[in-house]
Amino acid sequence: MSSRVSIDFEVDGVRRSEEIAPNTVLLDLLRDRHALTGVKASCERGVCGACTILVDGTPAASCGVFAFSVDGAAVETIDGQGREGGLGPVQRAFAECGGFQCGYCTPGMVMLTTALLRAHPEPDDEQIRSWISSNVCRCTGYQMIVDSVRRAAELNREEQP
Protein backbone atom coordinates (compact mmCIF):
# COMPACT_ATOMS: atom_id res chain seq x y z
CA MET A 1 0.00 0.00 0.00
CA SER A 2 1.31 3.46 -0.90
CA SER A 3 2.30 5.64 1.99
CA ARG A 4 1.80 8.81 -0.05
CA VAL A 5 -1.32 10.53 -1.31
CA SER A 6 -1.65 12.94 -4.23
CA ILE A 7 -3.34 16.26 -3.79
CA ASP A 8 -4.13 19.00 -6.23
CA PHE A 9 -5.19 22.30 -4.75
CA GLU A 10 -4.77 26.03 -5.04
CA VAL A 11 -2.85 28.27 -2.66
CA ASP A 12 -3.26 32.02 -3.02
CA GLY A 13 -4.27 31.55 -6.65
CA VAL A 14 -1.42 29.18 -7.57
CA ARG A 15 -2.20 25.57 -8.50
CA ARG A 16 -0.19 22.95 -6.58
CA SER A 17 0.01 19.25 -7.25
CA GLU A 18 2.04 17.14 -4.89
CA GLU A 19 2.50 13.91 -3.04
CA ILE A 20 2.31 14.00 0.72
CA ALA A 21 2.23 11.63 3.67
CA PRO A 22 -1.38 11.02 4.70
CA ASN A 23 -0.82 12.49 8.14
CA THR A 24 0.66 15.77 6.84
CA VAL A 25 -0.89 18.73 8.60
CA LEU A 26 -1.85 21.65 6.36
CA LEU A 27 -0.03 24.18 8.57
CA ASP A 28 3.23 22.24 8.15
CA LEU A 29 2.74 21.83 4.41
CA LEU A 30 2.19 25.56 3.92
CA ARG A 31 5.06 26.66 6.14
CA ASP A 32 7.66 23.97 5.50
CA ARG A 33 7.15 23.03 1.88
CA HIS A 34 5.76 26.25 0.46
CA ALA A 35 7.61 28.69 2.75
CA LEU A 36 4.36 30.48 3.54
CA THR A 37 5.63 31.46 6.95
CA GLY A 38 3.09 34.24 7.27
CA VAL A 39 0.82 31.45 8.49
CA LYS A 40 1.78 31.31 12.15
CA ALA A 41 2.24 28.24 14.30
CA SER A 42 1.42 28.81 17.95
CA CYS A 43 -0.64 26.43 20.09
CA GLU A 44 -0.90 23.81 17.29
CA ARG A 45 -3.99 22.49 19.08
CA GLY A 46 -6.75 24.39 17.32
CA VAL A 47 -7.17 26.80 20.21
CA CYS A 48 -5.54 30.16 19.42
CA GLY A 49 -6.34 30.82 15.74
CA ALA A 50 -2.87 32.15 14.85
CA CYS A 51 -2.73 29.66 11.97
CA THR A 52 -6.09 30.67 10.45
CA ILE A 53 -6.38 30.37 6.69
CA LEU A 54 -9.43 30.23 4.42
CA VAL A 55 -10.50 27.00 2.71
CA ASP A 56 -12.97 27.76 -0.08
CA GLY A 57 -13.61 31.03 1.74
CA THR A 58 -14.25 29.52 5.17
CA PRO A 59 -11.84 30.23 8.05
CA ALA A 60 -10.03 27.17 9.38
CA ALA A 61 -7.25 26.55 11.87
CA SER A 62 -4.65 25.02 9.57
CA CYS A 63 -2.99 23.19 12.48
CA GLY A 64 -6.12 21.07 12.76
CA VAL A 65 -6.57 20.24 9.08
CA PHE A 66 -5.04 17.24 7.34
CA ALA A 67 -3.56 18.44 4.07
CA PHE A 68 -5.23 15.67 2.05
CA SER A 69 -8.62 17.17 2.97
CA VAL A 70 -7.95 20.30 0.88
CA ASP A 71 -7.60 18.27 -2.31
CA GLY A 72 -9.57 20.23 -4.93
CA ALA A 73 -10.00 23.26 -2.68
CA ALA A 74 -8.81 26.86 -2.87
CA VAL A 75 -6.72 27.89 0.13
CA GLU A 76 -6.02 31.54 0.96
CA THR A 77 -3.30 32.68 3.33
CA ILE A 78 -2.00 35.99 4.60
CA ASP A 79 0.73 35.79 1.96
CA GLY A 80 -1.88 36.27 -0.75
CA GLN A 81 -3.49 39.32 0.84
CA GLY A 82 -1.16 41.97 -0.57
CA ARG A 83 -1.84 44.12 -3.57
CA GLU A 84 0.67 45.02 -6.26
CA GLY A 85 3.34 47.05 -4.57
CA GLY A 86 1.95 46.92 -1.07
CA LEU A 87 -0.49 45.82 1.56
CA GLY A 88 -4.09 44.87 0.94
CA PRO A 89 -6.90 46.91 2.51
CA VAL A 90 -7.36 44.68 5.56
CA GLN A 91 -3.63 44.69 6.24
CA ARG A 92 -3.53 48.48 5.83
CA ALA A 93 -6.40 48.88 8.27
CA PHE A 94 -4.59 46.88 10.95
CA ALA A 95 -1.45 48.98 10.42
CA GLU A 96 -3.39 52.27 10.57
CA CYS A 97 -5.41 51.39 13.66
CA GLY A 98 -2.66 49.70 15.67
CA GLY A 99 -4.47 46.36 15.62
CA PHE A 100 -1.29 44.55 16.54
CA GLN A 101 1.76 44.77 18.76
CA CYS A 102 3.88 41.64 18.45
CA GLY A 103 1.88 40.78 15.31
CA TYR A 104 1.80 37.07 15.97
CA CYS A 105 -1.98 36.79 15.93
CA THR A 106 -2.36 39.31 13.10
CA PRO A 107 -2.26 36.98 10.07
CA GLY A 108 -5.09 34.93 11.56
CA MET A 109 -7.06 38.07 12.45
CA VAL A 110 -6.58 39.44 8.93
CA MET A 111 -7.88 36.21 7.40
CA LEU A 112 -10.89 36.18 9.73
CA THR A 113 -11.57 39.79 8.80
CA THR A 114 -11.33 38.99 5.10
CA ALA A 115 -13.97 36.27 5.46
CA LEU A 116 -16.15 38.43 7.71
CA LEU A 117 -16.20 41.35 5.27
CA ARG A 118 -17.14 39.07 2.38
CA ALA A 119 -20.11 37.80 4.38
CA HIS A 120 -20.96 41.14 6.02
CA PRO A 121 -19.41 44.11 4.20
CA GLU A 122 -20.65 46.50 6.89
CA PRO A 123 -20.48 44.56 10.15
CA ASP A 124 -21.55 46.02 13.48
CA ASP A 125 -19.40 45.69 16.59
CA GLU A 126 -21.34 42.66 17.80
CA GLN A 127 -20.69 40.80 14.55
CA ILE A 128 -17.02 41.79 14.61
CA ARG A 129 -16.55 40.62 18.20
CA SER A 130 -18.38 37.39 17.48
CA TRP A 131 -16.18 36.61 14.44
CA ILE A 132 -12.88 37.40 16.11
CA SER A 133 -13.81 35.53 19.30
CA SER A 134 -12.30 32.34 17.84
CA ASN A 135 -8.82 33.89 17.86
CA VAL A 136 -6.61 34.91 20.76
CA CYS A 137 -4.53 38.07 20.97
CA ARG A 138 -2.24 38.25 23.94
CA CYS A 139 -1.08 41.82 23.31
CA THR A 140 -3.52 44.49 22.27
CA GLY A 141 -6.76 44.03 24.04
CA TYR A 142 -9.40 43.68 21.39
CA GLN A 143 -10.69 47.23 20.90
CA MET A 144 -7.95 48.14 18.42
CA ILE A 145 -8.66 44.97 16.48
CA VAL A 146 -12.36 45.87 16.33
CA ASP A 147 -11.35 49.38 15.16
CA SER A 148 -9.12 47.77 12.51
CA VAL A 149 -11.96 45.63 11.19
CA ARG A 150 -14.25 48.66 10.97
CA ARG A 151 -11.52 50.57 9.11
CA ALA A 152 -10.99 47.61 6.78
CA ALA A 153 -14.68 47.76 5.86
CA GLU A 154 -14.22 51.45 4.96
CA LEU A 155 -11.11 50.77 2.89
CA ASN A 156 -12.87 47.93 1.07
CA ARG A 157 -15.71 50.30 0.20
CA GLU A 158 -13.23 52.89 -1.08
CA GLU A 159 -11.61 50.22 -3.26
CA GLN A 160 -14.88 49.30 -4.95
CA PRO A 161 -15.02 50.54 -8.54
- On whether the CB atoms of residues 90 and 123 are closer than 8 A, the answer is no
Give me the least distance between CB of 34 and ligand FES, in Å please: 17
Which is closer to ligand FES, CB of 89 or CB of 99? 99
Which is closer to ligand FES, CB of 6 or CB of 102? 102
Residues engaged in binding ligand FES (CB under 6 A): 41-44, 46-51, 61, 63, 100-106, 137-140
12: nearest Cα among 83, 75, 60, 65: 75
The C-alpha atoms of residue 45 and residue 42 are separated, in whole angstroms, by 8
Give me the least distance between CB of 25 and ligand FES, in Å please: 9
Which is closer to ligand FES, CB of 19 or CB of 38? 38
Which is closer to ligand FES, CB of 103 or CB of 121? 103
Give me the least distance between CB of 114 and ligand FES, in Å please: 17
The C-alpha atoms of residue 71 and residue 61 are separated, in whole angstroms, by 16
The C-alpha atoms of residue 129 and residue 142 are separated, in whole angstroms, by 8
Phi, psi of 16 (to 5 degrees): -130, 130
Phi, psi of 152 (to 5 degrees): -60, -40
Give me the least distance between CB of 144 and ligand FES, in Å please: 9
